[in-house]
Each structure stands twice: as structure tokens, then as C-alpha cells.
Amino acid sequence: LSQDDLKTLVGQAALKYVVPGEIVGVGTGSTVNKFIDALASMKDQITGAVSSSVASTERLQALGITVFDCNEVTELSVYIDGADEVDPNGYLIKGGGAALTREKIVAAESRRFVCIADESKLVQNLGKFPLPVEVIPMAVNRITRQFQAMGGTVVLRLKDGAPLVTDNGQHILDVTGLQISDPLAFESQVNQWPGVVTVGVFAFQKAQVCLVGTASGVKTLTF
């Protein structure tokens, strides 16, 4: 089974967490795209979705699924999203798709975060994948120096040769070389830095369930 096949497996498996008649929280990325494509088969059984990115909104609407603004809903029963890394506690690194800010907002709005991932995302400790951090442009250099002081190596994410601009008009730094031994403490610490919009550690908004696509089928982890 290819990695793409594994993503399809978990995207389809996530349907069983969708509550008929409700609005579902939807994340961003290639694995979530498989979930969105599968969700289309249930579009008459759900009221709609709250999306975490322009890209997911467009995909949902193209399939005839109504997309609501986060301010139009309270407390979603489930949020379905991918991750770049998943540790044994359900703490995540996210942001590979540059949607981490809205993802964290919709995850916070949801009672249960069901993460969907192929087995390559499972790690013992977070931090091998470059940590995405969404920052206000004027703070890029100052925050870069702060991560460098922690031993990090920082790259400003580019798109078509220019600094990537997120759905929220901000930039993304990708940081490697960090030892994130306590994800909750790390997320709290970096959130305090002026200019940080969102750090791609999802510890406070961790996953409660992770559907893992493996060669022998879907493995369900609960945290």
C-alpha cells in the first residue's frame, strides 16, 4: 500500500466519527483531502462543515458541502485533521500546510479531535519535523534570534521565491534542532513571545483519537 493509499484508508475511516445532522470541523492537508472526498458521500446527512483553511473551504464547497464561519457555531462534536508528527500522548506537530492558526482555533471549538495520519507520522518525541511557527512579519528576525538562542535553526518559509503569506496575512518560520521534551511547557513558553501568532505544537489542543494508516489496516490510538 502506498502512502497515498494509507491516507485514503484513514480518510474513509474517519467518517464513523462524523455525527449525522451536525456540523463537522475540518482540517487541512493531503490526508484531510481524502476525508473531505469521503465526506461527500455523507453530504446529505450532515448540516455542513467549519473549515481551517481557504484550501479546505474550496474543496468542501466544490463537493456541495456547506461551509460555516467559526463564529456561526458553538462547540462542534468532532474535528478531523492530519498532523506532521504524533507522539505517544497525542501531542502533535502541525503546520506543514501553513494552516496551523485556524486549525488550532477549530480544534479548540471541537469536543473531540480525531487525527488521521499514515504511520510515518508516529514519533516518540516531537521535533524531527521542522516546527512551523506563524509569526507577524515585523517580528520575524527577533523570533528567529530567540529560536537560535535555544539551539534552533530557522528558515523563513518561501512560496514561489517570496516569503509565504498565510490565510491570515502572516509568515511561517520552520525551526529544526529543537528538543521538545515537554510539549505543554514549550507551547506555553513560545506562545508568550511577542509576535508569535501560533506555534505548531498542539499540546493544549492535542488529539484524543488518532486513526493510523498501516500496511495491515487502520490502527486506532486513543489518548
Helix (H, G, I), strand (E, B) or coil at 21: coil
Least distance between ligand DER and beta carbon 171 (Å): 15
Does residue 103 belong to the site contacting ligand DER (CB under 6 A)? Answer: yes
The answer for residues whose C-beta is within 8 angstroms of residue 95's C-beta and 6 or more apart is 84, 103, 131, 132, 133, 134, 172, 198, 200
Active-site annotation holder among 22, 58, 75, 103: 103
Q: Does 90 bind ligand DER (CB under 6 A)?
A: no
Please give the torsion angle defined by the CA atoms of residues 182, 125, 53 and 135, in that order, rounded to the nearest 10 degrees.
50
Q: Is 127 in the site for ligand DER (CB under 6 A)?
A: no
Residue 122 to residue 92: CA distance in whole angstroms: 9
Residue in 82, 90, 183, 213 binding ligand DER, rule: CB under 6 A: 82
- Per the annotation, binding residues for substrate are 28-31, 81-84, 94-97, 121
Residue 179 CA to chain centroid, in angstroms?
Answer: 20
Q: Is 130 in the site for ligand DER (CB under 6 A)?
A: no
Residue 99 binds to ligand DER (criterion: CB under 6 A): yes
Asked if residue 31 binds ligand DER (CB under 6 A), the reply is yes
Please tell me whether residue 96 binds ligand DER under the rule CB under 6 A: yes
| Stretch of residues binding ligand DER (CB under 6 A), selected from 16-24, 80-88, 147-155, 175-183 | 80-88
State CA 53 to chain mean position distance.
10
- How many C-beta neighbours within 10 Å does residue 88 have? 11
Is residue 84 close enough to count as binding ligand DER by CB under 6 A? yes
Please give the grid coordinates belonging to residue 71.
Answer: 463564529
68, 50 contact by CB (below 8 A): yes
95 binds ligand DER (CB under 6 A): yes
Locate 95 and state its grid cell. Answer: 503546520
Beta-bridge mates of residue 174: 132, 155
Cβ 121 vs Cβ 173: under 8 Å: no
94 binds ligand DER (CB under 6 A): yes
Active site residue 103: yes
As measured in angstroms, the least distance from the Cβ of 44 to ligand DER is: 26
Nearer to ligand DER, 100 or 143 (CB): 100
Residue 47 or 163 with smaller CB distance to ligand DER:
163
CA distance 185 to 182: 5
Tell which one of 36, 39, 65, 100 touches ligand DER (CB under 6 A).
Answer: 100
Residue nearest to ligand DER (CB): 29
Catalytic positions are: 103
Q: Which residues bind ligand DER (CB under 6 A)?
A: 27-31, 81-84, 94-97, 99-100, 103
